Amino acid sequence: MENLEQTCASLRAQIAATEAQLAGLKRELEIAEQTAADVKAQDTARTSADDKRSDNGTRKWPLLDEEYKRYGRQMIVPQLGLQGQLNLRSARVLIVGAGGLGCPAALYLAGAGVGTLGLVDGDTVENSNLHRQVLHRSKNVGKFKVDSAIEYLRELNPHPTYVPYRAHLTPQEAPDIFKDYDLILDCTDNPATRYLISDTAVLLGKPLVSASALRTEGQLMVLNYPPRPVGDKHGGPCYRCVFPKPPPANSVVSCADGGILGPVVGTMGVLQALEAIKVITSPTVNSSASPPSLLIFSAYSTPPFRTIRLRARRANCAVCSAEASVTLETLKSGSTDYVFFCGVAGLEATLLPEERISPLELRKKHPKEVPHGDRLSKEPTIIDVREKVQFDICNLENSINIPISTILSSASSSTNADANAQPSLPSWLPPDVASADSTDPIYVVCRLGNDSQVAVRKLKELGLDRGGQRYVGDIQGGLRAWREQIDPDWPEY
């Protein structure tokens, strides 16, 4: 029997390897076919252009017949016109991030006829992206996001030139990538990369359209516009001017942790495309007529939009002022460390090994419904510290929901009490958990095993461990580990 199982395992491994190899070959074939199609399309466009030249060898009309039909509805808008369309066709725009912001931004810029569109992203498409990252499709899960996006964009509009950068942006490579573009769109989701993009754009004299989105809210800014040289106070502010100091690393919430509504991030991405078109089609800008501003969007507020006027460049800005300390040399040399500048998010409290238990160990220690004499053994106390909206999606049977936000707010208020006084137990603790006579163990669980560690520390500060007489620990790896070790059908969200 054991040999048969090994044979089955070996065959499964061979099948998986063969399928992976086949997927790689299909991807290479797809890229080769797309390249051949692009070359053919370019040759056809050149032939069509040659056929429509006048007798003196020059084209009678600046756009192709198909372009007049394609862009006609926007060219008749007074703010755009023919010259605006020609500006779009000659423009080179770089989008950093092919996710929730970058997809709608790229979609509308490609549709508008931007001549060259570069996309930077080192991630691959995941199922969790598809509800908001509208350029990607289910069949492209596992493919590089830039390749998935360009595949869709080429179907939408074959005229632009699409340039993929299949890697995350680094300080050493950013200047060489940015220098070939006229305008930059920051469609990323972390502070370190935002500072890097802004610094590079300022040092190379590129306008920057920056946006962010989380849960039901978003922000939008047009930075370094007008793009004046470093030290010129008449130039637009940069990201460091608006946010001289990054937020505390532990306060930064990602979409994976905080959640995001697709239309919210879509709205911000579309607004980025709109601002980009305005910059491209109105190259001469009067800074006094267009003061820099921060647009704030809140989907559940009335009205949903409000604007805050931004100050001009800071006199002591590390990048765009006369006292600048960040230069292209410091970028390329790596001496400007953005990860260090923004800090590294770490656990507020790291538990000892004996304060942690894996899902498998928990199940062995507390088997489900095992007879104990004439009755079933008592279920262990499991406190789930996810917020209620996550607890309602899925939860362990008989677990108690006490959100981490509730625990932390209670713990912070108790610290203001007399240091010599015994900490009073908060009202949100169930009576059987707070009972002074109980020594039943308490296991704390969260989504990934981070908040649960913080919660264990706070619960011990409240004295629930009875000075070590009662076990209070966390389930290591959280509910993700529970899915991997105990229940493969557990919802992965």
**What type of residue sits at position 300?**
Y
- Residue 379: predicted pLDDT: 78
Where is the binding site for Zn(2+), in residues?
238, 241, 317, 320
- Residue 58: predicted pLDDT: 65
Residue 47's alpha-carbon distances to 42, 159, 160, 276, 378, in angstroms, are 9, 14, 17, 31, 81
- Residue 257: predicted pLDDT: 77
Where is the binding site for ATP, in residues?
100, 121, 128-132, 145, 189-190
**Helix 2-51 × helix 145-156 angle, to 10°:** 40
Where is the binding site, in residues?
100, 121, 128-132, 145, 189-190, 238, 241, 317, 320
This prediction has a pTM of 0.79
- Cβ atoms of 446 and 386 closer than 8 Å: yes
Neighbour-count burial for 189-213, b at 16+ CB within 10 Å, e otherwise = bebbbbbbbbbbbbbbbbbbbbbbb
d(CA 28, CA 17): 17
- Residue 48: predicted pLDDT: 52
- Cβ atoms of 201 and 286 closer than 8 Å: no
Annotated catalytic residues are 255, 446
Burial-class residue 290 by CB neighbours within 10 Å (0-12, 13-18, 19+): middle
- Residue 343: predicted pLDDT: 78
Beta bridge partners of 219: 212, 296
What Rg do the C-alpha atoms of the chain give, in angstroms?
28
The three-class DSSP label of residue 169 is: coil
- Residue 42: predicted pLDDT: 52
Neighbour-count burial for 34-68, b at 16+ CB within 10 Å, e otherwise = eeeeeeeeeeeeeeeeeeeeeeeeeeeeebeeebe
Q: How far is CA 466 from the centre of its chain?
A: 42
The residue ranges of the chain whose pLDDT is under 50 are: 50-51, 54-55, 286-288, 374, 412-419
pLDDT in tens, 199-210: 999 999 999 999
Q: What is the dihedral of CA 306, 270, 78, 291, to 10 degrees?
A: 40
- Cβ atoms of 175 and 331 closer than 8 Å: yes
Query: Taking every pair of C-alpha atoms in the chain, what is the biggest distance, in angstroms?
Result: 104
